[in-house]
Structure 1
Amino acid sequence: MGGSCDIACKICRYHMEPLEVMRELRFKLVEEGQLLPQHIPVIDNLRKEDNMMMKPKVERG
């Protein structure tokens, strides 16, 4: 999302915070289990190795 929409929503309309609304929508979708397939390996690795880099804990500094 570009900054122009964010600025336009604040100046021209109702002082909306579109980024906040989008973030909350994403949180809700994830809580409901609606994930993108490409995100599943990253989430699984976070649970298993505590990092998003797909590296084992023992290989990290």
Structure 2
Amino acid sequence: MIGKEIAQYSGKVVDKTTLDRIASSENVKVVRDCGIDGNHLGKKWYVIVFKDDTEISVYVK
């Protein structure tokens, strides 16, 4: 996936397969598991950090 494709998921709930595809992108530096998010009960919060140090948050069911 390219950066623009990944950025469209910012703030959204994605499935584990999509998270894995995001994590394998050459544009992504790191995926941080931030645990359970209080605003999205039952969802795990992940922060995606791009190589240019910008970040987005996604949530996984």
| TM-score, normalised by the number of residues in structure 1 | 0.20
Greater radius of gyration (CA): 1
Instruction: Say which structure, 1 or 2, has more relative contact order (CA 8 Å, 6+ apart).
Output: 2
Question: Greater helix share, 1 or 2?
Answer: 1
